[in-house]
């Protein structure tokens, strides 16, 4: 009987752990520098728990003057969420280009230059979760906001010899 319990536990614990990590998401940080490469999987549930222990005074950065305009900014985010997909901004200058567009629930920012390419994709639902009504940003809320980015290439930066990519699964 004891052996059956040990076997059941040996099977159940990794299965439950894997299911929990899969259900809550993983951020994959992939960094390449020349021939060197580091891939770091970060379970978002673990990151959220760790972030909740960060002392509030350490991270409580208020937006100062921008706090007065927070309600209007939230209104803009809601209007963007309700609007059809569109290119919002395009700036071209000699050998550089910046394009901001909305596709589905995601705000895309792409920067193309001679030496590097940058792509940032942020779900509007993540932006809504990130900033509190008083203008402060809580670390655990920031990680929760990343969880809204599941199945997204959140950030990608490419240059001649370097490549950094953050993907959320």
Query: 84: helix, coil or strand?
Result: coil
Q: Which residues of 129-168 are buried (b: 16+ CB within 10 A; e: fewer)?
A: bbbeeebeebbbbbbbbbbbbeebebbbbeeeeebbbbbb
Q: What angle do CA 15, 20, 26 make, to 5 degrees?
A: 115
**What's the number of domains the chain is made of?**
1
Q: Is the pLDDT of residue 57 over 80?
A: no
C-alpha 24: how far from its chain's center? 13
**15-53 pLDDT per residue, tens:** 555 555 555 688 899 999 989 999 999 888 888 888 888
The per-residue pLDDT for 103 is 94
Q: Which domain holds residue 109?
A: 2-168
Q: How many residues does the chain have?
A: 169
């Amino acid at each position: 009987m004891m052996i059956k319990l040990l076997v059941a536990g040996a099977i159940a614990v990794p299965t439950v752990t894997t299911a929990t990590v899969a259900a809550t998401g993983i951020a994959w940080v992939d960094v390449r520098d020349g021939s060197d490469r580091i891939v770091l999987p970060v379970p978002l549930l673990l990151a959220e728990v760790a972030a909740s222990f960060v002392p509030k005074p350490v991270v409580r950065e208020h937006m100062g003057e921008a706090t007065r305009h927070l309600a209007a900014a939230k209104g803009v985010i809601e209007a963007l969420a309700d609007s059809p997909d569109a290119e919002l901004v395009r700036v071209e200058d000699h050998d550089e280009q910046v394009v901001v567009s909305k596709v589905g629930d995601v705000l895309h920012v792409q920067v193309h230059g001679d030496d590097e390419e940058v792509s940032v994709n942020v779900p509007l639902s993540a932006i809504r979760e990130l900033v509190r009504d008083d203008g402060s940003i809580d670390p655990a809320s920031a990680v929760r906001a990343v969880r809204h980015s599941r199945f997204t290439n959140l950030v990608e930066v490419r240059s001649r010899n370097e490549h950094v990519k953050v993907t959320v699964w």
